Amino acid sequence: MQTVVELARLSVCLGKREILTDLSVELSGRIIGLLGPNGAGKSTLILTLLGFCPVTRGTARVLGHDIRRHIKQVRTLVGYMPENDSFIADMTAVSFVRMMGELSGLPAESALERAHEVLFYVGLGEARYRTLGTYSVGMKQMVKLAQAIVHGPRLLILDEPTNGLDPRARRRMLRLIRDIRDSGQMHVLLCSHLLRDVEETCQEVLILKQGRIVHYANLAQERSVNQRFVEIETSGDNAGLAEALTKIGCTCTTSGGRLKMVLPEDFDLRQIYRVAAKRDLPLRRLNYRRDTLEDIFLKAMEA
Same domain, 210 and 267: no
Model pLDDT, residue 5: 96
What is the mean pLDDT of the segment spanning 194-220? Answer: 90
CATH code for position 60? 3.40.50.300
Same domain, 128 and 214: yes
End residue of a domain, out of 200, 222, 244:
222
pLDDT at 289 over 70: no
Same domain, 204 and 271: no
pLDDT at 291 over 70: no
Single out the residue of 16, 12, 22, 15 nearest to residue 47, CA to CA. 12
Using DSSP's 3-state secondary structure scheme, residue 44 falls into: helix
Q: How many domains does the chain have?
A: 2
Q: pTM (2 decimals)? A: 0.81
Same domain, 186 and 237: no
Which residues form the domain of 261? 226-302
* Spatial contact of 190 and 198, defined as CB atoms under 8 Å apart: yes
Question: How do residues 165-206 score in pLDDT, each as one tens digit?
Answer: 999 999 999 999 999 999 988 999 999 988 989 988 998 999
Name 48's Cβ contacts closer than 8 Å, sequence gap at least 6: 10, 12, 20, 55, 60, 67
Model pLDDT, residue 290: 62
Same domain, 273 and 170: no
Same domain, 45 and 186: yes
CATH code for position 268? 3.30.70.980
d(Cα 278, Cα 232) in Å, to the nearest integer?
A: 16
Same domain, 120 and 152: yes
Same domain, 106 and 244: no
